[in-house]
Amino acid sequence: MVLLPDAITSFVSFRKGSMDTRLLKKYAPLYVLITPIIIYFCVFIFYPLSQAFYISIQEFGLLGSSGFVGLDNYYTIFDDSDFLQVIENTIVLSLGITFFGFTLPIIPAIALVEITQMAAKRWFQTLIYLPNLFSWVIIIGIWMTFLSPAGSLNSVLISLGIIDAPILFFANEDYARGMIVFQTVWKDIGYTTVIYFSAILSINTDLYEAAEMDGATVWQKIWNITIPQLYPTMKIVFLITLLGSLRTFDSAYLMSNGLISHKITTLALYVYEQGILEFDLGIANAAGVILLIIAISLALAVQKITRNK
Amino acid sequence: MATLSLHNVIKRFGETEIIHGVDLAINDGEFIVFVGPSGCGKSTLLRLIAGLDDTTEGEIKIAGQAVNDLAPSKRGAAMVFQSYALYPHMNVYDNIAFGLKVRKHPKEFIEERVNEVAEILQLTPLLNRKPKELSGGQRQRVAIGRAITRQPEVFLFDEPLSNLDAELRVAMRMEIARLHEKMNATMIYVTHDQVEAMTMADRIVVLRAGQIEQVGTPAELYTAPENVFVAGFIGSPKMNFISVTSKEFDGTKQTFTLESGQSIKLPVDSPTDGEKQFKLGVRPEHLFINRTGDLNITIKATASEYLGENTLVYGDLNGQSITLKVDGHQTILPGQEIAASAAVRDIYLFDDQDRSVLQNYRRTLLKDALSVKENKEPATAA
Amino acid sequence: MLNDKKFSLYSLILMALMSVMMLLPLWNVIATAFSTNLDSMKPGLLLWPETFSVEGFEVLFNRLEFWRPFANTMFVTVIGVFLHVFLASVGGYVMAQPNLPGKHFLTGIILLTLTIPSQIIMVPLFIVFKDFHLLNTLTSLIVAELVSGFSILLMRNYFEQIPHSLLEAARIDGASNLTIFFKVYLPLTIPGLITVGLFDVVRKYNMFVKPLIFINDPEKITLQIALKSIVMLDNSTSSSDIVTNNVVAGAIVVALVPLVLFYPYIQKFFIKGAHAGAEKG
């Protein structure tokens, strides 16, 4: 979604260019090579996308369409308090994941740069990057084991006398959203740290030396050089994290249970539940289209705001 | 091996015209150098001949056959790139053999040919090396080797020596010249370095802003440049230009006066009526100090550069900057007044359109010089 | 850069703490996996098995037939990644051609595919797969991510780093498009092929939503789905009373093994990719 404006520019500049039959002939073998790929995209992405729009304005049952209903499906879901809750969940989770996901990794990135022991530096990088490769099933599995009522953390907290009864991390609606944000940040922090880390490394060291000559303290250097120099990277990370968080599905799906699912059902999960489980295709696709609209408008808005700065 | 001709060749990139209708005929076995400042279109012209870019209008013929619509590989041209463009993952042998392999020549034939080429270019001990294990000069030779193996009709060189250091450049210059002699092939060589152009070319094509300014032998360009641009471009340091005004014509010669009031009579191609502005040109190496001649000027030195054998003196003549090339141990201080002079045969003259108006006279000088040379040569040989 | 010894020391401590945070739950799972059924269920801090045991793994492989989804995932990953890398490099090669007429149009199409979140087309895609009779087949999982705009663009970037003059030299040498592709471009972009391949290995190995939607047949479920059933104690996997904590942990450990084996390469190429991503903006 980050790329939508670029896609538009590409189409526009294409129209400006001219086609020359002699060139067409010369490049014919290349078109032959790319055609199957374009057909693939049409069949498995663009056709389903057009279907999503189409179905969202149809009354759709198990046997297929039973007629055009205009925006009825949209009215239906906006009247549904469950759906409004879903919107709230999506927004709260997105904000949480985006805020922590794009600010926290700055700290380890700065720390990593300052570590002088090369071996330690490599090991830390390796360790914090590792969870990024794990699937959500593995992530949730690991934390459910560690945080289960009889698990290591609860046992330690009880034996230290900090709590009396085990905390039900995965079955308490007050913790549900926090758990998703926490685990998402835990999974992604290594990746984002590496991006910030390499951005910091590319800052001109003369700036730090000039600040050193001016008598700046460590904190002043971080605040006045590192952070401002990181702005362009932070913008990109912010956008990627925000758009990724809007698609939150796996974590919410896996953590859902009767006690907490009303707090964490996201739009993406709602589309799945309505479309695949309930087979209410009209409603599911209307929700999908709303997700697409939210995502695209946010992407455009963020790009516009950051570009003006 | 082959003649090559361009007829009204035009190249446009989108709306911008880069080459404005170039006509050129190149003889069989000739060594042609395209020279000109950067952006003059010399590389583009070479790429049009190679077929790497499509010609917008006009016709290119190699060995009498129009090649406009032929793929680069079908034109019988081989090219040596500025960056050498060696395949990094292939060793020297495979780099040289690649063009033959894709043409499906038999293995024995390829081996024989590659070895032969390697021998000529002294690459035999390097055949198993990868490009990154070679020095700049060696890479250059591999690039040339790759061009030779295919025995093309025409060789195209795109600034092939610009990535080499000065010493190597001289050596490779000689090597390419020797190769040309040995293979007697048609070669087109692009450079911005006028020393390369002067030393290697049979004929030089001087280009500016997508147009040919002059085509001629190195001696022609030096002795009888057709316009101010060529006069200024060939020769180093650059030719000095002094503005003069035309006066009376005596039937054979016209008188011109400098701002200082001094006058000089020159054998112009055709007389000019009235007082008009002209540019008088004289090369730094033809201005002698402490001597009187046909043209006498007094300049005020502003700076000097000691080069060992020579000293370059920069000075000022009524607001026009003048460069002198004097003997190395002359000491000249800034502010010093210097009298310098030149003979009529070292004087060039251009009209307000920058065209040479002493062309007949200068061509005679060129012819005399050549005949003297010819007369001399048998004598030295004997 | 900041050149301050004290700060460097604090950094070291901070990173050490953070590494513990990353490692501790993982270590806990490994210790659990190698405990006995009984030990794994006992409350308490578990960082080393009281009695070293592979009981959990025995249940996993003998009674839950965990090897089957593992084999399914391997099949999808090996074939899928091979096809994916091949198609991405073909697409990238075409997109890397300078002056290709219509290139902007093609770029537009590819960027557009990246713009669409997969969840939006999930339901219609399900119908498409149904119409193609691909539901409940492993082929569906290969087809679902046969090629991606992301991989094509990544390969294009690698191809574009090859100097243009090399392509021209090959043209003058008389090489055809296919020869240039196989003999010049592919050998020069091996790091790119590996990067795209590794990205796709991880993506295919972790694929979750698509098998969840497309596959019902227990014979054909993939690793992540089987793992989900065990971790979530789904009733679908026989009797849940045999799934003790060490079995859950064992399943996680088994699923981690291929990732850990690949990790040194993944790290080398991914981190480079992340760096490149940061620079590209």
Beta-sheet pairing, B203-208 with B211-216: antiparallel
Is B214 strand, coil or helix? strand
pLDDT at A73 over 90: no
Asked if C17 has any chain A CB less than 8 Å from its own CB, the reply is no
Out of C45, C119, C278, the one facing A291 most closely (by C-beta) is C119
Query: What integer pLDDT is reported at residue A23 of this predicted model?
Result: 65
- CB contacts, 8 Å: A47 with chain C: 124, 128
Residue whose tokens read 């289209």:
A289
The residue among B234, B228, B221 whose CA lies nearest residue B363 is B221
- Order of strands, edge to edge, in the sheet holding B320-327? B288-289, B337-342, B295-306, B310-317, B320-327
Q: Are A172 and A162 in contact (CB under 8 A)?
A: no
Q: How far apart are the first and last CA of chain B?
A: 33
- Give dist(CA C27, CA C20) in Å, integer: 10
Q: Are B241 and B321 in contact (CB under 8 A)?
A: no
Chains with 3+ CB–CB pairs under 8 A to C are A, B
* DSSP letter string, B65-94: EE-TTS-GGGTTEEEE-TT----TTS-HHH
Q: How much is the mean pLDDT over chain A?
A: 85
Q: Choose between C56 and B122: higher pLDDT.
A: B122
pLDDT at B51 over 90: no
pLDDT at C192 over 70: yes
Q: Are B211 and B40 in contact (CB under 8 A)?
A: no
Mutate to test the interface with B, among C161, C166, C167, C173 (most CBs of B within 10 A): C173
Please list the alpha-helical segments (H only) found in chain C.
Answer: 5-33, 37-41, 55-58, 67-95, 103-115, 122-131, 138-144, 149-160, 164-173, 177-179, 186-188, 190-205, 209-214, 223-231, 245-280
Tell me how close the Cα of C180 comes to any Cα of chain B, in angstroms. 10
Domain map of chain A by residue range? 4-72, 81-308
pLDDT digit string (tens) for A189-226? Answer: 999 998 999 899 988 888 887 777 777 788 888 888 89
Q: Give the number of other CB atoms < 10 A from CB of residue C47.
A: 12
- CB contacts, 8 Å: B46 with chain C: none
Which tokens sit at B120? 């000529």
- Give dist(CA B34, CA B142) in Å, integer: 23
**For residue C241, with 0-12 CB atoms within 10 Å meaning exposed, 13-18 middle and 19 or more buried, which class applies?**
exposed
User: Within the 166-225 window of chain C, which residues sit less than 8 Å (CB to CB) from chain A?
Assistant: 176-178, 202, 205-206, 208-209, 212-213, 224
Query: What integer pLDDT is reported at residue B382 of this predicted model?
Result: 36
pLDDT digit string (tens) for B214-268? Answer: 999 999 999 999 999 999 999 889 999 999 999 888 888 899 998 888 889 899 9
pLDDT digit string (tens) for B204-226? Answer: 999 999 999 999 999 999 999 99
Domain map of chain C by residue range? 5-58, 66-243
Average pLDDT over residues B61-85: 88
Tell me how close the Cα of B186 comes to any Cα of chain A, in angstroms. 28
Q: Are A248 and A161 in contact (CB under 8 A)?
A: no
Tell me how close the Cα of B73 comes to any Cα of chain C, in angstroms. 4
pLDDT at B174 over 60: yes
pLDDT-based confidence at residue A117 (cuts at 50, 70, 90): confident
pLDDT digit string (tens) for B181-195? Answer: 888 889 999 998 888
Q: Choose between B103 and B32: higher pLDDT.
A: B32
Query: What integer pLDDT is reported at residue B142 of this predicted model?
Result: 93
Q: Give the number of other CB atoms < 10 A from CB of residue B182.
A: 9
Query: What integer pLDDT is reported at residue A63 of this predicted model?
Result: 64
- Give dist(CA A165, CA A172) in Å, integer: 13
- CB contacts, 8 Å: C93 with chain A: 33
Query: What integer pLDDT is reported at residue C34 of this predicted model?
Result: 87
- The top-level CATH class assigned to C66-243 is mainly alpha
Which tokens sit at B61? 């013929």
Query: What integer pLDDT is reported at residue C271 of this predicted model?
Result: 65
Domains of chain B: 4-231 (3.40.50.300), 236-369 (2.40.50.140)
Query: What integer pLDDT is reported at residue C275 of this predicted model?
Result: 55
User: Within the 155-174 window of chain A, which residues sit less than 8 Å (CB to CB) from chain C?
Assistant: 155-156, 158
Query: What integer pLDDT is reported at residue B274 of this predicted model?
Result: 84
Which tokens sit at A114? 């300052």
**CB-based contacts of B8, cutoff 8 Å, min separation 6:** B21, B22, B23, B57, B58, B59
Q: Are B78 and B152 in contact (CB under 8 A)?
A: yes
Superfamily of domain A81-308: MetI-like (1.10.3720.10)
pLDDT at A156 over 80: yes
